[in-house]
Amino acid sequence: MRLLFIGDVVGRAGREAVAAVLPRLRTGLRVDLAVVNAENASHGFGLAPDMAEALFAAGADVLTLGNHAWDRKEIIPYIADHPRLLRPLNYPLGTPGAGVVVVDVADGRRALVAQAMGRLFLDPLDCPFRGTAEILARHRMGAGGTVQAVIIDFHAEASSEKMAFAHAFDGQASLVVGTHTHCPSADHQILPGGTGFQSDAGMSGDYDSVIGMQKEGAASRFWRKMPGERLSPAEGEATVCGVFVETDDATGLARRIEPLRLVGRLSQAVPE
């Protein structure tokens, strides 16, 4: 299976860039399943329903969120009716929406997509390790399993927690990819047990910025140590960042993993 994950979409620049390149990426890479993290898509904070619809229309099969999941209150009734929009699975019992979905792809194959959120330097939640383990115990990969691939978006601040999480589930997932920091890491690899891993997919947004936000306002907060106006997304040309993985349908494990950095100001990395 050929899997594409696109990192945190930030603001209009990120949305427009993803909408422009995702259709051709799907065709050129023969993508079976495309997952997009969209928690910053609506003016940098949260996701509005109309913008979720636009990303689905552009070619996203599943959208994931994160710690900004509820910044747009109108997403609450929407997520309850749209199972392909995921919030972290380790939110408390009774939280609207779900953190996992099984998607039908071509040729009768199925893929599981899940999102969990870390707890270091973020709001305390239920244990992401236990929650993920419970889900994977019910959904084995590969021939004879319930799914042929598993993608996990681990939305976390600390690289150490992301690495520990990936190693904890090495051999049980096709891809564990970190989101949240908006900085693409250079550690894409296949772990010893066969799981593809990258600490952070990076953001899909304008990199002439401070993690996607206009740099003047962000720098002022550090310089003056005083609260200022609400940060706004940078609106220059965006780079679409993410990761591409090709898996073995017989096992669900990764055969190759390549980073994606397309258009914008970052050095380019385009999978073949």
For residue 149, what are the CA distances in angstroms to 57, 145, 152, 198, 248? 23, 10, 10, 17, 9
DSSP string, 63-83: EE--TTTTSSTTHHHHHHH-T
Kindly name the residue from 43, 68, 180, 188 that is annotated as catalytic: 68
What is the three-class DSSP state of 238? coil
Residue 35: CB partners within 8 Å, gap ≥ 6? 3, 4, 5, 6, 60, 61, 62, 63, 64, 113, 151, 153
For the four alpha carbons of 140, 146, 149 and 151, in that order, the dihedral sign comes to negative
CA 108, 112, 114 angle in degrees (round to 5)? Answer: 160
Q: Does residue 139 carry a catalytic annotation?
A: no
> Would you state the structure tokens that stand for residue 62, as one six-digit string?
């599943």
φ, ψ (nearest 5 deg) of residue 10: -115, 115
Nearest to 147 by CA among 100, 78, 93, 180: 100
Nearest to 193 by CA among 121, 156, 141, 129: 141
H-run or E-run covering 245? strand 240-247
Q: Which residues are catalytic?
A: 68
